[in-house]
A and B are shown apart, each in its own frame.
Chain A
């Protein structure tokens, strides 16, 4: 029998369908992999072995669910910010220690209906605020390729678990790059869907005009499978858009003939790592070799994206996190009166980065500063969105690096928040514009750390970015590289 924990979703589905393994064997193999490897990587916050085995046995009893359903009996790791009924959901925060989800998020319910198994909860930056997973209140997750380096963030646990073969695939969330950047740092595929493509009901909100749920996987086909299973209009999330959900796997061709791919000069800037630039440019040349026409495009407002993002995201976060007041759920620290109770509860429950962002967000919304910061940022957001709309008139998709650097050592940016924010320059734009993007492995640095190629597509253009990423992936060997653990 092949190493079950190393399988992709579609490979595992084939083994299950052919009766070559059971779902229980698959889950047991993953549990053994977690037991052996996770003490080194620290990706999981909790593993729900008993429930996962029960779900697997149920799947094995009910094999007729297998037909045409690649997720049936397949175990997934879930970022600790999406509610799975009966499991913890700490959001990487002390303020939600001991919380048990009373319901399933819509994305989870849709996967559950297809027979997916929820293996455990994976680590993240507290409330998804961070780019390295160092902001978790619980543990520091390590990059499987180099254990003293960060896995990226905020979905660092998801990417590390997939890269280290401790999950068949995982879910993450992406507000400013939190799926694509850790996928890139860990050598996985990560897809941020178009705003409105996947329901956020049951996702603990960070910045509601930017947040999306998406897959982190071992290959592009798995990303297409998971996206198709989760996408669609949801009456419980009024921002979901009623656009038909295609069979995304049908878009997975192996050439790029007839495609025009844009190359924005603003995404190749001074200060970026030399290995990253060289590797991404080589990937662009490779796409040309697969039949794509490469055209120059310009996204002139890119230099303003980080400032715009950190005004809008923190403003929305300050409002969203007001719900953590010690009344309905989570920890409470008693005080002299309700206001004092809120202040003490939040002081004890939130970590440093969350506090910093709440204060920044409260400030940019406060009387006298709203116009200068928040309203102005919303206007610049329009300019950034217009840049993309103009660019997509001349190309089908855009190729860029995911991040200006590969993974960095743990602790490097720990007390320099601005430096950490600047690393998000190539990913925040897709969230601001509401478009879709995917990160696909495209090589390594000299120090053997993975590098990702980002493919950005227009709103609801997921089929285009999946096609580009798949053609690139299948004609290269990067997906076969595995970290030594």
Chain B
């Protein structure tokens, strides 16, 4: 893409994008978001009317680069505290569903 909008750029497939975002939607949500997001993307499209040739993108307003600290061990949160909010924990670990059979 050359930075220009394609004809279909605002045709969002809400179900597919929600899957990418690991978000299950109800049918009602999917149809409501479809219309609302198309409207929002149509509005956002006005950015394509600006000439941005040769303009550098801004990722952060305050250009701070290469912030390093000394590579030394420091105290960190203890295990009990880190696990205190876990939905499921066992033997000092977070429990997750089986990933590899």
Interface residues of chain A, those whose CB is within 8 Å of chain B, are 98-100, 102-103, 194-196, 209, 235, 238-239, 241, 301, 303-304, 306-308, 310-311, 318, 322, 325-332, 334-335, 337-339, 341-344, 346-347, 350, 352, 355-356, 358-360, 362-363, 366, 368-369, 371-373, 375-383, 385, 417-418, 421, 432-435, 459
Contacts and interface: CB of A to CB of B under 8 A. Distances in A.
Judged by DSSP, the binding face of A is helix
Contacts of A330: 85, 87
B73 interface: no
Interface string B54-84: 0111111110100101000000010001101
A327 B85 CA distance: 10
A356 B99 contact: no
Contacts of B20: 362, 366
B90 interface: no
A417 B64 CA distance: 34
Given A239-B64, A366-B17, A381 B3 contact: no
Contact of B40 (A375, A377, A417): A417
Given A195-B60, A325-B22, A372-B5, 10 more contacts: A209-B60, A328-B85, A335-B97, A344-B24, A356-B36, A369-B1, A372-B6, A375-B3, A418-B36, A435-B61
Assign chain B's interface to a size class.
35 or more
16 contacts: A102-B84, A327-B86, A328-B86, A332-B87, A334-B97, A337-B98, A343-B19, A350-B23, A356-B37, A362-B20, A369-B1, A372-B9, A372-B48, A376-B3, A378-B57, A382-B55
Interface string B25-45: 110010001001101110111
B17 A363 contact: yes
A484 B70 CA distance: 56
Interface of B: 1-6, 9, 12, 14, 17-26, 29, 33, 36-37, 39-41, 43-48, 50, 52, 55-62, 64, 67, 69, 77, 81-82, 84-88, 94, 96-99
Contacts of A327: 86-87, 94, 96
B42 to A, nearest CB: 9
Given A196-B64, A346-B22, A358-B23, A418 B43 contact: yes
A308 B77 contact: no
A346 B17 CA distance: 14
